[in-house]
Amino acid sequence: MDSPPTGMLTAGPPDLGPPRRRRTRPWAVVIALLVIVLIAALITYVRSGGPAATAAGTAGPVGTAAPAVSAPAPAGGQSTTQPPLAQKEIWRPEAGVSWQWQLQVPVDQSVDAAVYDIDGLENDASVVASLHAAGRKVICYVDVGGWENYRADAADFPESVKGNTIDGWPDEKWLDIRQLDVLRPIMAARFDTCAERGYDGVEPDLMDAASADTGFPLTPADQITYNLMIADLAHERGMAVGLKNDLTQIPELVSHFEFSVNEQCAEYSECEMLVPFIAAGKPVFHAEYDLPTTAYCQQTTALGFSSIRKELDLSAWRETC
């Protein structure tokens, strides 16, 4: 689990704590499109003379009808400046790429890193554009497993989804990730913001609630379902998505995520569990807080990780391997 940004543009938590360890298009739209295509196909089929004309080489109904159907307008407030989903290629970073992780604002853009992971709700499109102009890719940090009372959308979360206070974080509570119908539109709106501001990828935090004391009887299956929903939300908006921690479920999830973000795998002797991402050619963006780089860089560099050392406040400071 991560440190929320200090010095935020909006009010944030007063103290730093310990590290924290789908929207598909609505079915109604899909069905409506299918009906339009079928009706257009039928009309074309009848006008072409039925099976005889088709057999004689007249263009068939599917071939003539489909181009006449316009793409649906972006749903859920998605920016019209974003390329159509079918045309926007999702960023697929390569293993070993350098990265910077800063959740405090303003972002220090002078750090020599190919990828910046920054607070997506506190940094607007101008920050992303500036980093892009310098040749960087930018990841949008978003908390998906916890309620934060200092976020602008805090009132959108009903009491029914709020669980126990997150250990060390008095202003945050675990979410009941089983309530997909409640959480999906909230997370979709957050991901819309990431997409509209031009982010290349998303770092969804707190993706391992099933292993925490949340106050809810969450199961590993609940976590898989929720994490897959989160991955779909990002992909539907043309963004890459990372799996944050949740090491035990990597075998089931690695194929659905473009990268991993991990805290303290060296300190807890867990780094081997992240190797499936490297084996798939996907980066492991790894950070340690307490260990000196001499204690883990040799190991993680050999594994192919993108390893750095950070302070708990996730300011601009870092050490690299």
8 Å CB contact between 141 and 263: no
Q: Which domain holds residue 55?
A: 28-68
Average pLDDT value for the chain? 82
| Per-residue pLDDT band at 88 (split at 50, 70, 90) | confident
In a domain, 13, yes or no: no
Cα 220 from Cα 209, distance rounded (Å): 9
In a domain, 12, yes or no: no
Question: Is there a cis peptide before residue 13, judged by omega within 30 degrees of 0?
Answer: no
Residues 62 and 95 in one domain: no
State pTM to two decimals.
Answer: 0.76
- Give 155: exposed, middle or buried? Use CB within 10 Å, 0-12, 13-18, 19+: exposed
Please identify, among 68, 97, 116, the residue that sits at the C-terminal boundary of a domain.
68
| Minimum mean pLDDT range among 8-17, 123-132, 272-281, 298-307 | 8-17
Residues 117 and 171 in one domain: yes
Q: How far is CA 144 from CA 2, 57, 91, 304, in A?
A: 12, 54, 21, 28
Residues 215 and 178 in one domain: yes
In a domain, 196, yes or no: yes
Residues 168 and 207 in one domain: yes
In a domain, 16, yes or no: no
Look up the CATH number of the domain holding residue 117.
3.20.20.70
> Is the CA virtual torsion 256, 261, 266, 269 positive or negative?
negative
Cα 234 from Cα 218, distance rounded (Å): 23
In a domain, 15, yes or no: no
Residues 316 and 216 in one domain: yes
Residues 35 and 164 in one domain: no
In a domain, 300, yes or no: yes
Q: What is the mean pLDDT of residues 258-265?
A: 98
In a domain, 137, yes or no: yes
Domains in the chain, number: 2
8 Å CB contact between 313 and 3: yes
Residues 58 and 144 in one domain: no
Residues 38 and 117 in one domain: no
In a domain, 219, yes or no: yes
Residues 106 and 56 in one domain: no
Q: What is the pLDDT of residues 12-55, one digit of tens each?
A: 333 444 554 422 233 333 333 333 334 344 434 434 444 433 33
Residues 307 and 200 in one domain: yes
Q: Which has the higher per-residue pLDDT, 15 or 176?
A: 176
8 Å CB contact between 99 and 115: yes
Amino acid at 219: T
Residues 189 and 256 in one domain: yes
Residues 97 and 133 in one domain: yes
